[in-house]
Amino acid sequence: MTKIVFMGTPAFSVPILESLIEADYEIVAVVTQPDRPVGRKKIITPTPVKEAAVKHDLLVLQPEKISGSPEMEKIKELAPDLLITAAFGQFLPEKLLQVPKLGAINVHASLLPKYRGGAPVHYSIMAGDAETGVTIMEMIKKMDAGGIFSQQKIAITKQDDVGTMFEKLSLVGRDLLLETLPKIISGELKPVPQNEAEVTFSPNISREQEAIDWNKTAEAVDNQVRGMHPWPVAFTTFEGARWKIYHVTPLDEQTTELPGTIIARTKKALHIACGQGTVLAIDELQPAGKAKQTVQAFLNGSGQAITEGQQVK
């Protein structure tokens, strides 16, 4: 039986782990991030992967940093045949990659060599891509640069956001891994080197990237909002106060007003001018110090004083 150490952290990783368990692979340890404070009350909360591992009575390791840690030494002692990672969230040192007899493989949520890095789903939606996918790849010292074993494409619709795409890609990754794994273990499937000329990157989202640029078209702003929902969430400012923007709709109309101008304000709607004369409706937002709410609730509550002609930035 193939001995596997599984490394993952968020909900994306859970179906992948559980599918390995159901397929009777021997999971000798599950490595995940440490428990973290969550929410306004800062309640210490285990990762989704830890919860799944505990449910199946698996050994759980939670290094703050895997390199040089006691947990890394434990993995060496376990002598796994394979390391399988899926959104673990830490860079793995070369010494760890050399431990498993059959190597280390990663379930990566992009069509490599496009979008190497920690936020491939965010970037694919923000770029307005029509499709993305999952890559099963070998892990080497250089991040997301290993050879490709298999890939599966999936469409991105205009209704998708990071949350919905992670749910879809998790299931795609689960099925693709189960299909690919026996061929890797048998040696039938060999990794194909990536085309370095086609490499793009998706580093973690910066605070500056979260700010909406109203000079972009309404469609581009919509892509940004969906590409940051449900986290980290795009924002704009109005009279110095920050609004987190959760849902918007590009409208089929034109304007001559400057980008960022509020061009329509009713009891139910808030329309804002964007680049190239396009117009966007805000559907759901969270004003500073308030709960997330529909635009109608906002305009009939704390946003009552807003008028046409004012600016968001």
Distance CA 88, CA 16 (A): 12
pLDDT for 203: 95
* pLDDT tens track for 245-287: 999 999 999 999 999 999 999 999 999 999 999 999 999 999 9
Which amino acid makes up residue 312?
V
Residue 70 has pLDDT above 90, yes or no: yes
Q: Are strands 234-238 and 148-155 parallel, antiparallel or unpaired?
A: unpaired
What pLDDT band is residue 41 in, cutting at 50, 70 and 90?
A: confident
Written as one letter, the residue type at 159 is: Q
pLDDT tens digits, one per residue of 120-141: 999 999 999 999 999 999 999 9
Q: List pLDDT tens digits, range 93-129.
A: 999 999 999 999 999 999 999 999 999 999 999 999 9
**What number is the average pLDDT over the span 163-189?**
97
Measured CA to CA, the distance from residue 236 to residue 246 in angstroms comes to 11
Q: What is the pLDDT of residue 40?
A: 80
Q: How far is CA 260 from the centre of its chain?
A: 28
Omega prior to 70 cis, within 30 of 0 = no
Q: What is the CA radius of gyration of the chain?
A: 22
**Burial class for 229, CB neighbours closer than 10 Å (0-12, 13-18, 19+):** buried
Q: Judge if pTM exceeds 0.75.
A: yes
What percent of the chain is modeled with pLDDT above 90? Answer: 98
In this predicted structure, what is the pLDDT of residue 39? 83
* pLDDT score for 73: 97
The CA distance from 217 to 210, in Å, is 16
- What mean pLDDT is predicted for residues 225-231? 97
The predicted model gives 36-46 an average pLDDT of: 91
Whole-number pLDDT of residue 1: 84
- pLDDT band of 76, cuts 50, 70, 90: very high
Residue 263 carries which side chain, given as an amino acid letter? I
Residue-by-residue DSSP string for 53-73: HHHTT--EE--SS-TT-HHHH
